[in-house]
Amino acid sequence: MNVRIESSWKEKLAPEFKKEYFIRLTDFVRQEYKTNIIYPPAGLIFNSFELCPFDSVRAVIIGQDPYHGAGQAHGLCFSVRDGVDYPPSLINIFREIESDMGYKPFPSGNLARWASQGVLLLNATLTVRAHNPGSHQRKGWEEFTDSVINALNKERENIAFFLWGAYAQKKGSSIDRTKHLVLESVHPSPLSASRGFFGNKHFSRCNEYLLKYGLKQIDWR
């Protein structure tokens, strides 16, 4: 199966594209785009990989679903297109960065500027039906994105993994903490951010870790 994804990821994930679950997933997603409004636009499903090749990854932020409102999702978790209002979780992420790093103001909710520095902004599920959160869960995306995490875990070293909330923590439970930095807290959602997301200092801790291993730090502005 010819999957249109960045070349280094295409090589690393090639075995997945031949598996039965991925073939079923592809059939399902194609049909969904034909019959429903699906986000992100089809050409941006693998945007996080396009902007962040395998050997460039220095940090991974794990989300759950793409945003399901019009004009928001563009293939990067927690990110929205330029000019789109910041969703509540992203507001809280920026609030924590300001507290932790002193950065303000933030130019846009488009986090492609992070991806281009080696931050893989990975949703567990890469597509969603409009206004129907969770609608593409348990169709095969989770298995695919598990393979992404496993490849990074096994073949790379000294990556900072951000696991916010129980869902992300479960998804990242197999990460080798002797090889990588695992940063865990509650989710930045307004429902939980005040119970441990604020003050977690994950962004400065990530940069301190990268510096320790002689890696370029990330500009979180």
- pLDDT for the residue numbered 2: 81
Tokens of 35: 């019959």
Q: Is-catalytic flag, 85?
A: no
Instruction: Answer whether 205's CB lies under 8 Å from 183's CB.
Output: yes
39 forms bridges with which residues in the sheet?
128
3-state secondary structure at position 71: coil
pLDDT in tens, the chain (221 residues): 688 999 999 999 999 999 999 999 999 999 999 999 999 999 999 999 999 999 999 999 999 999 999 999 999 999 999 999 999 999 999 999 999 999 988 889 999 999 999 999 999 999 999 999 999 999 999 999 999 999 999 999 999 999 999 999 999 999 999 999 999 999 999 999 999 999 999 999 999 999 999 999 999 99
The enclosing H or E element of 49 equals helix 47-51
Q: 């439970």: which residue's tokens?
A: 173
CA 108 to each of CA 79, 90, 113: distance values in angstroms, whole numbers, following the listed order: 9, 11, 10
Q: Are 182 and 206 in contact (CB under 8 A)?
A: no
Q: 178 Cβ partners below 8 Å, 6+ apart?
A: none
The rounded distance, in Å, linking the Cα atoms of 55 and 151 is: 11
Rounded distance between C-alpha atoms, residue 75 and residue 112, angstroms: 10
Q: What angle do CA 140, 110, 173 make, to 5 degrees?
A: 40
27, 65, 146, 219: the catalytic one is 65
Which pLDDT belongs to residue 105? 82
Look at residue 183 and give its three-state secondary structure.
strand
CB 109 within 8 A of CB 80: yes
pTM score: 0.97
